[in-house]
Amino acid sequence: MRVVLAPMEGVLDYRMRDLITQVGSYDLCVTEFIRVVDQVLPERVFHRYCPELINAGIYGSCTKAGTPVRVQLLGQDPHYMAENAAKVIELGSSGIDLNFGCPSKTVNKNRGGSILLKDPENLYQIIKAVKEAVPSDTIVSAKIRLGYEDKTLAIENAQAVEAAGANELTVHARTKVEGYKPPAHWQWIAKIKTAINIPVIANGEIWNLADAIKCREVSGCKDLMVGRGALTIPNLGQVIKQESNIMPWLEVLTILSAYTEFETHGDKSKYYCNRIKQWLKYLKNHYQQADELFGEIRTLKTAEAIKAKLSEEL
């Protein structure tokens, strides 16, 4: 069984995956999507989203914990998607992931993400072009939802992914219109899995060990991808794979403190206050102490004040 750490734009970035992979026993990370339009992007763009590439060398991009990191691209033009994919592999990425699941209105309006699920042929052409542009042993994966407005093309889209040469497919078990509202329709992943021969990774509404067990049972998938659940239980990958306990609150506080140092010394430090509050909102699903801490810092507006409060807790 593999547990993959999903990207979440503006939340599960490289700082977060560095921390989470040190405690979560994850097998793979996928970066936030890099938007491809009509040019080959400069190296600095890929390094910004995936700093692990800077020291990738011959071993490929990995977090400090040794977890492989796969760069994710999002776009609609087969040529430029292929050119950028080739460049990413040259820079040392542990593979290429193609995003056909993003539900953002802005992204969809510009013919990116889940809007492409309305056009299986375009899906096919993009993946085929990417696969042909990279070395034959490169892992090219794709992530889809069950559809855009409905699920009528779910099987056809999955078959297009396979026919184009993708090595594996992640399925988020909801349509674009369904967004992130429960439930996740894991039974549809099972239908997709029986219709194609490449490995399928199940994604959606996996918040804890019970969810993981149920998802594997219903979907028939042994491999899972988790996103928001990893923010709720930082060691969720370990919990799922080893059926272990969730980490104690004191260890969570230590991670929060480490995240504070990352953020307040990084190029996005101005977002720190909102980010730490957002993380605590997820954590409080399993930790009463997180709810209490959120109440204490909710009105604080500076990183220094929040850091001081975290120091008190430790």
Mark whether 273 is an active-site residue: no
SS3 letters across 13-42: CHHHHHHHHHHHCCCEEECCCEECCCCCCC
Instruction: Determine the pLDDT at residue 108.
Output: 83
The CATH fold assigned to 3-242 is TIM Barrel (3.20.20)
Instruction: Determine the pLDDT at residue 220.
Output: 98
User: Could you identify the residue written with the tokens 């099987």?
Assistant: 155
Instruction: Determine the pLDDT at residue 270.
Output: 66
Phi, psi of 220 (to 5 degrees): 80, 5
Q: How far apart are CA 268 and CA 272, in angstroms?
A: 7
What is the distance between the terminal CA atoms of the chain, rounded to a whole angstrom?
Answer: 35
Mean pLDDT within 186-208: 98
For residue 104, what pLDDT band results from cuts at 50, 70 and 90? confident
Q: Which residues contact 52 (CB under 8 A, 6 or more apart)?
A: 14, 61, 62, 63, 69
Mean pLDDT of the chain: 93
Domain range list for the chain = 3-242, 249-313
Strand partners, 30: 70
Between 1.20.58.220, 1.10.3470.10, 2.60.120.380, 1.20.225.30, what CATH number should domain 249-313 receive? 1.20.225.30
- Per-residue pLDDT of 145-191, as tens digits, reads 999 999 999 999 999 999 999 999 999 999 999 999 999 999 999 99
For the full predicted model, state whether its pTM sits above 0.85.
Answer: yes
Catalytic residue among 29, 50, 62, 102: 102
Q: Which residues contact 228 (CB under 8 A, 6 or more apart)?
A: 8, 180, 207, 282
